Homo-oligomer: A and B are copies of this chain.
Amino acid sequence: MSPEAHKRGRPRCEHTRANILAATEALLDEGGPGAASMDAIAHRAGVSKATVYRWWPSRGWVVLESLVELMERESAFVDTGSLAGDLRSQVRALARILRTSSGSSIAAIIAEMQTDPEIGQAFREAFLARRRRSAKEMLARAEARGELRPGLDPELVLDLLYAPLYLRLLLKHQPIDEAFVEQSLRLVLSGLQPD
């Protein structure tokens, strides 16, 4: 982790790490969570399984990291000036991502969490917490400006905003289309107004 990590021996080949994550992403994209077995990942990356296990403790972690990389490429926080605008922009951005194959990867990770609690911990820290931190700051500023009914738990607010998207991602009972996102946003935002 520290910058001067290794002292002796052959240094880690960064190329390999990238290959593995790319292979994982591709497999998830093509065949869903079931296709991204360790053997498949290693074979696709032209890498031995031992190498994968040298850097990640289990399958779930590889999938998780491939996801985190992907999300960092995709997501961007914008500042529109108003709470409603900021939240709308963020929720729409997430919806956009969930509609692509990255959505399947996120679904895959959430599935994996149900089996492996360590993955759960890692997902919450590396994925959720990071994204929520800035969102919470945004809410705090909005509350200070009087745009938000005071006393609301920010975790609750974020759950209300994001949960419907995740639910449709995971259950696939309805599409995550524009109309749904829009109506959902309107209803929740109306409940957040002061007075």
Contact = CB atoms under 8 A, between A and B. Distances in A.
A40 interface: no
Interface residues of A, number: 42
Interface of A: 32-34, 104, 107-108, 110-116, 120, 123-124, 128, 152-153, 155-156, 159-160, 162-164, 166-168, 170-174, 180, 183-184, 187-188, 190-192
One complex includes copies of this chain to the number of 4
Contacts of A171: 110, 113, 120, 123-124, 128
A65 to B, nearest CB: 18
Q: Is the interface of A mostly helix, strand, loop or mixed?
A: helix
B115 A111 contact: yes
A117 B143 CA distance: 43
A114 B107 contact: yes
A114 to B, nearest CB: 4
A191 B164 CA distance: 15
Given A115-B32, A166-B167, A174 B159 contact: yes
Contacts of A170: 110, 113-114, 166, 170
Given A123-B171, A153-B180, 19 more contacts: A32-B114, A33-B114, A104-B114, A107-B114, A108-B114, A110-B171, A111-B111, A111-B112, A128-B173, A155-B173, A155-B174, A156-B164, A156-B187, A159-B164, A159-B174, A160-B164, A160-B184, A163-B167, A187-B191
A190 B184 CA distance: 13
Given A159-B164, A190-B191, A114 B111 contact: yes
Contacts of A32: 114-115
